[in-house]
């Protein structure tokens, strides 16, 4: 139960991922993983009057359905650990308003789902809680108008840009039950290589992903070939190339088993440039496609590394570069 390194915690008592649910938007329906999503919005307003309200509804619906999947009720959940990209993470707190569950809001941008799993697995392993819900969401239209430009402008994407995933995912962690377990977590440090282009998140986040992956292998004593897959969050095509090179420079080769949620969620013909991004990207892919691979026995050992760019509109406008972070979660059967 003690640190096996400064950033890495190896659990003696391991939290079990007992249930999952993931909701996607219409653009994601046209993507490569469509068959795996539990529910798909036909219309990205989800019947609401604003995109922000739609994201809140999607986030809430995801948590409620994951609880249902776990065959438990709201009152069985000891805490919800949630986050999203909206200012003041309102998708999360407005979801919590509808639920009778103690709430802790988490924010490390698109790596938030990793932070939630890391904290959730510690709260369970420590014996403080027996069931925890971890969830995140993002929505193309809320992110675009909050971080970039009004949607009405129809602004073109730059070559290195990524498309924010409309999606939400939730995992139920428990102290017992059936499912893959969280065996180790490596908590990330904030890394900033001085990238200032908010349309090149892959480049901003790759050094943070590399830092966490390197720390994980140094501290865990494991090698990349221990895992069937090393799955980063939303580095996209360019960021994925970068992370492989950065990790390689430390003598660790992950290329043969590296995948990226942002790179796999869409199809090339969808014109999403470098791929998907957003706090909902990795949580949607993890809670649907990846967990189905675990259930089918096609995946047994995964290092899941959600990645996040910690900028805000104000920080970019004030000329700041983009600090980034990644957390690594070892999931095993």
Rounded alpha-carbon distances, angstroms, from residue 248 to 19, 115, 196, 211, 224? 35, 25, 25, 12, 11
Q: Quick check: 228 binds a second copy (CB under 8 A)?
A: no
Length, in residues, of the chain: 333
Write down the least CB distance from residue 282 to a second copy, Å: 16
Distance from chain centroid for Cα 178: 22
Q: Quick check: 89 binds a second copy (CB under 8 A)?
A: yes
Write down the least CB distance from residue 173 to a second copy, Å: 14
CA dist., res. 237 & res. 114, Å (int): 21
Q: Quick check: 105 binds a second copy (CB under 8 A)?
A: yes
State which of residues 109, 143, 299, 305 lies at the interface with a second copy (CB under 8 A).
Answer: 109
Q: Quick check: 207 binds a second copy (CB under 8 A)?
A: no
Cβ atoms 137, 279 nearer than 8 A: yes
Nearer to a second copy, 184 or 240 (CB): 184
Q: Which residues pair with 203 in a beta bridge?
A: none
Q: Quick check: 90 binds a second copy (CB under 8 A)?
A: yes
Pairing of strands 258-260, 229-232: parallel
Write down the least CB distance from residue 72 to a second copy, Å: 13
Pairing of strands 167-174, 276-277: unpaired
Q: Which residues pair with 131 in a beta bridge?
A: 174
Q: Binding pattern to a second copy, positions 5-24, x when CB under 8 A?
A: -xx-x---------------
Nearer to a second copy, 76 or 228 (CB): 76
Q: Binding pattern to a second copy, positions 138-157, x when CB under 8 A?
A: --------x-----------
Give the three-class secondary structure for 65: helix
State which of residues 73, 189, 221, 250 lies at the interface with a second copy (CB under 8 A).
Answer: 189
Q: DSSP class of residue 108?
A: B
Of 278, 311, 112, 113, the residue nearest 204 (C-alpha): 311
Work out the widest C-alpha separation in the chain, in whole angstroms: 53
Residues within the interface to a second copy (CB under 8 A): 1-3, 6-7, 9, 49-50, 52-53, 75, 78-79, 83, 85-90, 93-94, 96-97, 99-109, 115, 118-119, 122-123, 125-130, 146, 187-192, 310-315, 318, 320, 323, 325
């Amino acid at each position: 139960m003690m640190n096996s390194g400064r950033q890495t915690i190896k659990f003696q008592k391991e939290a079990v991922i007992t249930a999952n649910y993931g909701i996607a938007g219409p653009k994601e329906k046209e993507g490569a993983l469509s068959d795996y999503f539990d529910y798909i919005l036909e219309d990205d307003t989800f019947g609401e009057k604003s995109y922000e309200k739609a994201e809140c509804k999607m986030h809430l619906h995801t948590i409620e359905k994951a609880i249902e999947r776990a065959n438990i009720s709201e009152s069985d959940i000891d805490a919800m650990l949630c986050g999203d990209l909206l200012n003041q993470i309102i998708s999360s707190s407005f979801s919590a308003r509808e639920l009778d569950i103690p709430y802790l809001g988490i924010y490390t941008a698109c790596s938030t789902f990793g932070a939630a799993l890391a904290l959730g697995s510690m709260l369970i392993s420590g014996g403080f809680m027996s069931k925890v819900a971890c969830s995140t969401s993002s929505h193309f239209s809320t992110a675009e108008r909050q971080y970039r430009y009004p949607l009405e402008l129809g602004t073109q994407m730059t070559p290195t840009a990524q498309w924010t995933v409309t999606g939400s995912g939730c995992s139920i962690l428990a102290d017992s039950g059936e499912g893959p377990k969280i065996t180790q977590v490596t908590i990330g440090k904030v890394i900033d290589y001085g990238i200032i282009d908010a349309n090149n998140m892959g480049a901003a986040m790759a050094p943070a992903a590399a830092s966490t992956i390197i720390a994980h292998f140094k501290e865990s004593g494991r090698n990349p070939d221990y895992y069937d897959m090393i799955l980063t969050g939303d580095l996209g095509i360019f960021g994925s190339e970068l992370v492989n090179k950065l990790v390689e420079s430390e003598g660790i080769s992950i290329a043969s088993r590296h995948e990226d949620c942002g790179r796999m969620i869409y199809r090339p013909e969808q014109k999403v440039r470098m791929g998907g991004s957003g706090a909902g990207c990795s949580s949607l892919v993890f809670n649907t496609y990846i967990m189905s691979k675990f259930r089918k026995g096609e995946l047994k050992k995964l290092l899941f590394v959600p990645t996040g760019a910690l900028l805000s509109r104000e920080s970019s406008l004030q000329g700041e570069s983009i600090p980034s972070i990644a957390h690594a979660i070892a999931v095993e059967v």
